[in-house]
Amino acid sequence: MSIVTITDRDTVTVVVVAAAPSVTVSTGPTGPAGATGAQGTQGVQGATGADGAAGATGSTGAQGNPGNVGATGADGAAGATGSQGAQGTTGAAGATGSQGIQGIQGVAGDTGAAGATGAQGIQGITGDAGAAGATGSQGIQGIQGAAGADGATGAQGIQGTTGAAGADGATGAAGADGADGATGAAGATGATGATLTFMESLWTWTDYGGGAVASEVWTGAVVSGGASSFLAQIDPKHMGVVTTTSGSTINGGYRLLTTSVVQLAGFSGLCSRQIMQPKLDAAGTTLRFGFLDSGIITAPVDGAYFQILNLTLEAICRSASTQSAASPTLTLTVDTWYTLDIDYVSDTEVRFVVSNDAGVNLYSHTVTTNVPNTAARAFGHGYVGTNSTGGSSRDLAWIDYQGMGPVRPYYCPVPP
């Protein structure tokens, strides 16, 4: 039996718990000890024993008499709590006095004895068989056996790197010439070439490839102390070149002009081509190419020509000393080949084109005013180069080709 005491502030409760009946479980005889298995699963916990009966409630102590009301004074230290006196009869209501000192609290009842321990729960069922025991330690090493037979031959090793190449053998003697092969069939006939018209055949030109400065049409002459010389073939495009220099005299230079400077009249179809290379970038240098009637530094009275001052090129038409120039200009580069083309598109319009040695069009402009186009405004053709500063002689320009005619031939087209 168990006794359980439950204590509240004013109540003591005693609960008596009857002991749970015991249960006996028979077991068979103990078997031989086996290898230690893994721990079985835990048995089911037994049911909790029933609570004992509650103890009887103790009687309430008598209440003490109320104390007399005293005058309110300073609070003293709290005295020990006494047991509560018995309640007095209710008196008549009087004036409300100050609160009396609280009565001492009654002593708490003793704690009840503990209830009896419940009986042990039923034993759990036998666990599953344990896992196999750990592997035993390795046995002692056996005596070494006799040596085995030789193993089979191993596979061939990886091939070594290739050795350096041996020196070339001596060249064998040349074999005998083979017999001539059969003659191949004749190739197809080429397309018919363009026909040169009579007017185109009147085109006249010189490339100064023969080593002479003078030609059948153009004559070389010194201008105030200038000079010229001949250069042999420079490259495949330039078979021969005339060099022109200024000399040391002011306005000195050189010209390559038609024998007469008044033998041509401007008309539709008249055209010109000159190939040149400027050699001097200096103030006072004047180069003129095309149709003109002056063989000195003085500007022509009539003409249609390119004028290069220092390295600035412009296209000019002059009639009776009145001038019109195309705009804009073109800046040339020293030691660079240029092709200069002039064409009378009509009696009153002249086209000027400049291209480089690769045939690329660099400049193309027309002039339609002050175009000389009558016999009274006749001119010649060629080149005049001068320098107005004098001093030491300097190269002015190289001339490689000059050509002109009443119609431009098909083999001398102007770059588009």
- The pLDDT, as a whole number, for residue 164 is 77
Q: Between residues 155 and 219, which one has the greater pLDDT?
A: 219
Average pLDDT over residues 203-227: 82
User: pLDDT, tens digit, for every residue of 172-198?
Assistant: 687 687 787 788 787 687 676 778 999
Find the mean pLDDT for residues 247-255.
Answer: 92
Q: Pairing relation of β-strands 218-223 and 252-258?
A: antiparallel
What is the Cβ-side half-sphere exposure of residue 72, based on CA atoms within 13 angstroms?
4
What is the number of other CB atoms lying within 10 angstroms of the CB of residue 37? 13
- pLDDT at residue 105 above 60? no
Mean pLDDT of 81-87: 53
Q: What mean pLDDT comes out for the span 160-182?
A: 74
pLDDT in tens, 390-409: 888 899 999 999 999 999 99
Q: From 356, 354, 359, 352, select the one nearest 336 (Cα to Cα).
A: 356
Task: Specify the higher pLDDT residue, 144 or 319.
Answer: 319
For CA atoms 144, 146, 150, 155, give the dihedral sign. negative
Amino acid 118: pLDDT? 43
Q: What pLDDT was estimated at residue 131? A: 64
CA 277 to chain centre: 45
The secondary structure of 116-184 as a DSSP string is PPPPPPPPPPPPPPPPPPPPPPPPPPPPPPPPPPPPPPPPPPPPPPPPPPPPPPPPPPPPPPPPPPPPP
Neighbours of 67 (CB within 10 A): 11
Question: Mean per-residue pLDDT for 244-262?
Answer: 88
Compute the CA torsion angle 345, 346, 348, 350 (nearest 10 deg).
10
Provide φ and ψ at 195, rounded to 5°: -90, 130
The span from the CA of 311 to the CA of 282, in Å, is 8
What is the structure's pLDDT at 94? 39
Higher per-residue pLDDT: 172 or 369: 369
Spatial contact of 247 and 228, defined as CB atoms under 8 Å apart: no
CB 21 within 8 A of CB 119: yes
* Reported confidence tier of residue 359, pLDDT bands at 50, 70, 90: very high
How far, in Å, CA of 240 to CA of 305, rounded?
A: 24
**Whole-angstrom distance, CA of residue 290 vs CA of residue 311:** 17
Selection from 19-28, 53-62, 196-205, 225-234 with the highest mean pLDDT: 196-205
pLDDT band (50, 70, 90) for residue 61? very low
- Predicted local confidence at residue 91, as pLDDT: 43
CA angle 176, 180, 183 (to 5 degrees): 165
Lowest average pLDDT, out of 80-84, 176-180, 234-238, 285-289, goes to: 80-84
Selection from 308, 335, 302 nearest residue 321 by Cα: 302
Residue 412 or 11, more confident: 412
Residue 69: predicted pLDDT? 47
Q: What is the mean pLDDT of the chain?
A: 76
Q: 395 has which bridge partners?
A: 245
The token duo for 243 is 């060099």
Quick one: tokens of 74? Answer: 């300073």
Per-residue pLDDT of 10-31, as tens digits, reads 444 444 444 444 444 444 565 5
Going 277 to 280 to 281 to 286, the CA torsion angle's sign is: negative
Residue 49 reports pLDDT greater than 50: no
Q: In the predicted model, is pLDDT for residue 6 greater than 50?
A: no
Position 75 confidence tier, pLDDT thresholds 50, 70, 90: low
Mean pLDDT, residues 58-72 taken together: 50
> What is the per-residue pLDDT for 14?
43
Q: How far apart are CA 226 and CA 205, in angstroms?
A: 24
Give residue 17's pLDDT: 41
Looking at residue 44, its pLDDT comes to: 61
Q: Which two tokens stand for residue 364?
A: 């193309």
Q: What is the DSSP letter of 284?
A: T
Pairwise CA distance, residues 298 & 223, whole Å: 11
Task: Please choose, from the candidates 370, 214, 391, 238, the residue with its C-alpha nearest in 3D space to the C-alpha of residue 302.
Answer: 370
Indicate the fold that domain 200-405 takes in CATH.
Jelly Rolls (2.60.120)
Tell me the percentage of the chain whose pLDDT exceeds 70.
58
Average pLDDT over residues 369-389: 95
Omega into 328 within 30° of 0, i.e. cis?
A: yes
Q: Which has the higher per-residue pLDDT, 123 or 171?
A: 171
Task: Residue count of the chain, please give it.
Answer: 416
What is the per-residue pLDDT for 382? 96
- Contact yes or no for 257/383 (Cβ under 8 A): yes
Task: Sort residue 251 into left (φ over 0), alpha (ψ -120 to 50) or beta.
Answer: left
* Token pair recorded at residue 358: 């690769």
What is the pLDDT confidence band of residue 128, given thresholds at 50, 70 and 90? low
Query: pLDDT over 90 for what percent of the chain?
Result: 41
Tell me what pLDDT residue 174 has.
78
User: What confidence score (pLDDT) does residue 112 get?
Assistant: 44
Side-chain half-sphere CA neighbours of 103 within 13 A: 15
Using DSSP's 3-state secondary structure scheme, residue 376 falls into: helix
Closest CA to 98 of 127, 72, 118: 72
Please tell me the predicted confidence (pLDDT) of residue 153: 67
CA pair distance 363, 338, nearest whole angstrom: 11
Quote the DSSP letter at residue 310.
Answer: T
